[in-house]
Amino acid sequence: MPKPPRALFARFIALPVAIWALGCTGAAPSTQALPADAPALEAEVARHPDDAAASLRLLKAYYAAGRFAEARQTAATTLRLQPQNDEADVYLGLSYEGLARFDSARAVYSALLASQPRKALHHLLVGRLAIVTREELVADARHAVASESLLASTPADPHTVAVMPFHYVGSDSTFQPLERGLAALVVTDLSRVHELRVVERARLQALLDELKLAESGRLDPATGARSGRLLSAGQVVEGQFATEPASQVRIDATVVRAADAQVAASGSNADQLQALFDVEKTVVLQLLSQLGIALTPAESVAISERPTRDIEAFLLYSRGLEATDRGDFTAAAAAFSAAARRDPSFGAATQQAAASEAAEAASATAPADLATAAGGSATLAPPGPSLGLGALTAAINAAVPSGATLLAAVASSGALALPVSDPNRICEGATCDGPARAVLVGSVTIIFKLP
Amino acid sequence: MPVSRGIAIAVVCAVGASRSLRGQATDALYARCNAVSGWETRGFAFDPGIGTKSVWEWTLPLVVVAPIGRSVSLDLTTNYASARLDSYAGSSETLSGLTDTEVRILYTMSRDRLVGSISFNLPTGQHTLSASQFSVAGAVGSNYLSFPVSNFGTAFGVTGGVAYAQTAGGWNLGLSGSARYLSTYSPFAGDTVSYAPGMEVRVRGGADRLLGNKSRLLLGATVSTFSTDVYTGSNALVAGSYAPGTRLIGDVTWLRVFGRSTVTVAAWDLYRLAGVGSTGPNPETKENVLDADVRLTYGLRPGVEVEPSVAFRQWTPADYVGGRLGSGALTVRAGLTPRLALTVVGRYDAGWIFDQTSGRANLSGYGASAFLRLER
């Protein structure tokens, strides 16, 4: 008599019910794509290659796993399917950061900014750009040091000038931050001269940090010349300042040729501390004169402009530069904001305060949250069983076995976690192990029980 | 016949692909036309003891998957296989030819939620064999050794099934069931014996969930119950029946991502209860196969992975250990183009097999395969 399957159904129905009950007591479902989701999502995307939401989830999983190359490719796929997906754009930028392709990251963020995003996202993107810029400067510095032998044989541009931090030779540490502040002032003044191209202060600082020279303070002509060659700058401004005797300031500066470390120009001036900007500009004009650069009236007027009349505000601004160079955007934002409060007309302080606050916010924001700010979860389909390594596919393949499971094993990447051999496709038939052959064993002697 | 089948496959693929391109947002379980083919060989050599010297098989599989319209996909699987059995007595037998063709139609009733399926087993293979061929087919049909093609052919069959998936808390759950009907056929050439397999009813429950943010655990349990097989014959066999024992399969997989690598630990156990024949229970039909493997999948670069793995298998027919097998394999997967992927596998096995009558024999196995997957 055929065995009624109903009894066996009843016997084993407890199993799925138990699994269901177990599941209901489980943790809340994750709405984020995690590294462990990648294999399942690869299978999902393979099944639904035109599904932008699935592609976006795979992109997130790759990014979370640190698989930035795959993340970048998947971001491109997602954006091809859904060109206006800002969240994918953000992940594309983040993936470029992971690949140390900072220029590409900057291009992505800049394009997003140009699309006039919401205020919150705008703020975060500005901050991300600040972070990327700093990362890029550090990477460039490392690359320059690594390529020093090549750069040494390449003639530097004589019209490109780099400005080293000014070395403080006094004993009052209050004025130490002016090392960077004075360098920033000189950079600003020299950049008014059309004949010159000036290396960004932060770029030179990153190089000095890489060379571990900044803290030593031993910036002699040879060091300056080496730095200039590494930055392809033909001339380097070096200098020092003192604040003694009390309430006085003295600034000495030289221009060193990177090619031969010879001094091409020098300048020096001293006055009351309150006249700091006058002293600095006098020195700058001396240097330009000795270099044979004739200023146009407009350039002279531009150089004569003071960023602020408040020495205390400038000191705070200089502290902000120090903190920025350390990557401490919180301290930088506080210092720049304090400077801007003391002198609301201090434009550079106001700009730097905004950028530092944005960078602080961006650095405190997880990449996933930044991306969410870009697109929110609205572009995602609700998390479904497909996240669970193809729960539906596994179920149907186990119940109605098919050779199609071979597809997953031959996927170019991220095959499903299939067993090497699939027990659901075991041999069934007269020749196979199991019931059918058992029927015939003993009755037909030619059957081999063993291979 | 092979030519006409090839044409049919190509037509299915072309029609499916063209329709899928028209319907970009398909809900079909397989959204693109895919074809997998290649070459695979597996062989085992036995030390003296059980009479069999070696068993080898090579296969040319062909799997085609195509979406048909918005909610339907179709897959087709067939093989050309050749197996050879050599004995220490000096005999050598070979069995070659096409296997049965499976055509499965999947209908997505609710995307990622509910799928119905009907599968047809088309008897394009060789189900009626000579005595010598039967010995080869029996060898490659071993559950212990798991040859790529374990069955050269049966009869026309139909399997209907349905699968449902649902999230519950942090779990993804999948529940499915199916019923399979296989028509009567004659296993032996030159004999009138007729074999009518009973129906198989299969139920599976699966569950998986994340463990932390880098690990996933997958569990599955499948139960198959069979109605009674009936066989009739006039020569060597007489009429009889057999009630096969219930088959249970449990599987567990744990995977964890480590940077660019994924470690997968998977195990399954197949347990078949003893069946009852015309003359009473047959304890020899009880069987257990335990399989476990550990894999490390490492992405060398986008689209290229290497996957070393080790595996263990134990076969327990009746109430004694019938064999243990250790295996090592290396898999390389590479995306040659965005639409063409290559997978190459090499493996080695070592272990032993034991039979209460013949004794024990050590064995070693080798395997290699190369598959190409083309997506349209």
CB contact under 8 A, A439 and B195: yes
Cβ atoms of residues A162 and A400 within 8 Å: no
Q: Which two tokens stand for residue B343?
A: 């997978």
Cα separation, A17 vs B166, whole angstroms: 13
Among partner residues B175, B260, B335, which is closest to A412 by beta-carbon distance?
B335
Cα separation, A207 vs B169, whole angstroms: 52
Reported pTM: 0.59
CB contact under 8 A, A389 and B309: no
According to the model, what pLDDT value does residue A216 have? 53
The CB density around residue A171, as the number of other CB atoms within 10 Å, is 9
> Minimal Cα–Cα distance from B4 to chain A, Å?
21
Closest CA relative to residue A57, chosen from A29, A80, A35: A35
What residue of B is the nearest CA neighbor of A429? B154
Cβ atoms of residues A438 and B286 within 8 Å: no
Closest CA relative to residue A164, chosen from A130, A211, A205: A205
> Minimal Cα–Cα distance from B97 to chain A, Å?
15
Cβ burial, residue B267 (10 Å; 0-12/13-18/19+): middle
Q: Which two tokens stand for residue B185?
A: 């056929």
Q: Which two tokens stand for residue A265?
A: 């120009």
Residue B371: list chain A partners with CB under 8 A. 406, 409-410
Q: Which residues of A228-243 are buried (b: 16+ CB within 10 A; e: fewer)?
A: bbbbbbbbbbbbbbbb
Closest CA relative to residue A86, chosen from A116, A46, A129: A116
Cβ atoms of residues A363 and B122 within 8 Å: no
Cα separation, A244 vs B25, whole angstroms: 76
Among partner residues B171, B227, B371, which is closest to A23 by beta-carbon distance?
B171
CB contact under 8 A, B285 and A411: no
CB contact under 8 A, A47 and B219: no
According to the model, what pLDDT value does residue B17 have? 43
Torsion (CA) A346, A349, A352, A353 in degrees, nearest 10: -110
* Residue A440 in contact with partner chain B when CB distance is under 8 A: yes
A310 phi, psi to nearest 5 deg: -100, 110
Cα separation, A383 vs A380, whole angstroms: 8
Residue A5: list chain B partners with CB under 8 A. 201, 225, 227
CB contact under 8 A, B341 and A412: yes
What does DSSP say about strands B194-196 and B200-211: parallel, antiparallel, or unpaired? unpaired
Average pLDDT, chain A: 76
CB contact under 8 A, B284 and A393: no
- The long-range contacts involving A142-151, CB below 8 angstroms and separated by at least 24 positions, are A142/A210, A144/A207, A144/A210, A144/A230, A144/A231, A145/A207, A145/A210, A145/A211, A145/A230, A148/A229, A148/A230, A151/A229, A151/A230, A151/A232
pLDDT average, residue stretch A445-450: 33
Cβ atoms of residues B232 and B239 within 8 Å: yes
> Between these two residues, A164 and B375, which has the higher pLDDT value?
A164
pLDDT average, residue stretch A42-55: 80
According to the model, what pLDDT value does residue B352 have? 94
Residue A50: list chain B partners with CB under 8 A. 24-26, 31
Closest CA relative to residue B162, chosen from A426, A398, A385, A404: A398
Cβ atoms of residues A203 and A231 within 8 Å: yes
Residue A8 has pLDDT above 70, yes or no: no
Residue B21: list chain A partners with CB under 8 A. none
According to the model, what pLDDT value does residue A46 have? 76
ipTM value, please give it.
0.86
> Which residues does A368 contact at the CB level (< 8 Å), separation at least 6?
A32, A60, A64
Report the DSSP beta bridge partners of residue B157. Answer: B121, B182
Q: Which two tokens stand for residue B301?
A: 């670069």
CB contact under 8 A, B264 and A404: no
Cβ atoms of residues B324 and B295 within 8 Å: no
In angstroms, what CA-CA distances link B201 with A4, A332, B289, B373?
10, 70, 21, 32
Cα separation, A283 vs A268, whole angstroms: 6
Residue B264: list chain A partners with CB under 8 A. 417
Identify the helix (H) or strand (E) that includes residue A262: none
Residue A411: list chain B partners with CB under 8 A. 333, 341, 373
What residue of A is the nearest CA neighbor of B259? A65
> Minimal Cα–Cα distance from B12 to chain A, Å?
15
Among partner residues A25, A402, A410, which is closest to B343 by beta-carbon distance?
A410
3-state secondary structure chain B: CHHHHHHHHHHHHHHHHHHHHHCCCCCCCCCCCEEEEEEEEEEEEECCCCCEEEEEEEEEEEEEEEEECCCEEEEEEEEEEEEEEEECCCCEEEEEEECCEEEEEEEEEECCCEEEEEEEEECCCCCCECHHHHHHHHHHCCCCCCCCCCCCCCCCEEEEEEEEEEEECCEEEEEEEEEEEECCECCECCCCCEEECCCEEEEEEEEEEEECCCEEEEEEEEEEEECCEEEECCCCCCCEEEECCCEEEEEEEEEEEECCEEEEEEEEEEEECCEEECCEEEHHHCEEEEEEEEEEEEEEECCEEEEEEEEEEEEEECCCCCEEEEEEEEEEEEEEECCEEEEEEEEEEEEEEEECCCEEEEEEEEEEEEEEEEEC
Cβ atoms of residues A263 and A221 within 8 Å: yes
A:B CB pairs within 8 Å: 417
Among partner residues B63, B115, B138, which is closest to A403 by beta-carbon distance?
B63
A 344-383 residues inside an 8 A Cβ radius of B: 383
CB contact under 8 A, A16 and B75: no
Closest CA relative to residue A223, chosen from A210, A209, A213: A213
Cβ atoms of residues B182 and B190 within 8 Å: no
Residue A369 has pLDDT above 80, yes or no: no
Report the DSSP beta bridge partners of residue B79. Answer: B61
Residue A389: list chain B partners with CB under 8 A. 172, 208, 216, 218
Residue B224: list chain A partners with CB under 8 A. none
A355 phi, psi to nearest 5 deg: -65, -40
Q: Which two tokens stand for residue A173?
A: 């540490």
Residue A451 has pLDDT above 80, yes or no: no
Residue B198: list chain A partners with CB under 8 A. 2
Domains of chain A: 35-144 (1.25.40.10), 156-306 (3.40.50.10070)
Torsion over CA: B133, B136, B141, B142 (sign) = positive
Among partner residues B202, B216, B311, which is closest to A389 by beta-carbon distance?
B216
Residue A194 has pLDDT above 50, yes or no: yes
Radius of gyration over every alpha carbon of chain B, rounded to an integer in angstroms = 22
> Minimal Cα–Cα distance from B226 to chain A, Å?
7
Q: What angle do CA B150, B153, B158 make, to 5 degrees?
A: 105
What does DSSP say about strands B157-168 and B114-122: parallel, antiparallel, or unpaired? antiparallel
Q: Which residues of A337-371 are buried (b: 16+ CB within 10 A; e: fewer)?
A: bbbbebbeebebbbebbbbbbbbbbbeebebbebb
What residue of A is the nearest CA neighbor of B354? A450
- Give the residue carrying structure tokens 């220490």: B88
Cα separation, A139 vs B54, whole angstroms: 61
Phi-psi domain of A36 (left: phi exceeds 0; alpha: psi -120 through 50; beta: other): alpha
Among partner residues A34, A385, A434, which is closest to B112 by beta-carbon distance?
A385
Cβ atoms of residues A187 and A200 within 8 Å: yes
The CB density around residue B136, as the number of other CB atoms within 10 Å, is 27
Residue A158 has pLDDT above 50, yes or no: yes
Residue A357 has pLDDT above 60, yes or no: yes
A 30-49 residues inside an 8 A Cβ radius of B: 30, 32, 34-40, 46-49
> Minimal Cα–Cα distance from B370 to chain A, Å?
9
Instruction: Decide: helix, strand or coil at residue A107.
Output: helix
Residue A20 has pLDDT above 60, yes or no: no
> Which residues does A39 contact at the CB level (< 8 Å), separation at least 6?
A389, A414, A415, A416, A417, B255, B262
A 64-123 residues inside an 8 A Cβ radius of B: 64-67, 69-70, 73
According to the model, what pLDDT value does residue B93 have? 92
Cβ burial, residue A46 (10 Å; 0-12/13-18/19+): buried
Q: What is the pLDDT of residues A104-122, one digit of tens each?
A: 998 999 988 888 777 778 8
What residue of B is the nearest CA neighbor of A51? B25
Among partner residues B118, B150, B282, which is closest to A438 by beta-carbon distance?
B282
pLDDT in tens, chain B (376 residues): 344 444 444 444 444 444 443 334 467 777 778 889 999 999 999 998 888 899 999 999 999 988 888 889 899 999 999 999 998 989 899 999 999 999 999 999 987 789 999 999 999 998 888 878 888 888 888 888 888 888 888 899 999 999 998 888 878 899 999 999 999 988 888 777 788 888 999 999 999 887 876 788 889 999 999 888 887 876 555 567 888 889 999 999 888 877 778 888 999 999 999 888 777 888 878 889 999 999 998 878 767 889 999 999 999 988 889 899 999 999 998 878 777 888 999 999 999 998 877 788 999 999 999 999 887 7
Q: Which two tokens stand for residue B21?
A: 């391109």
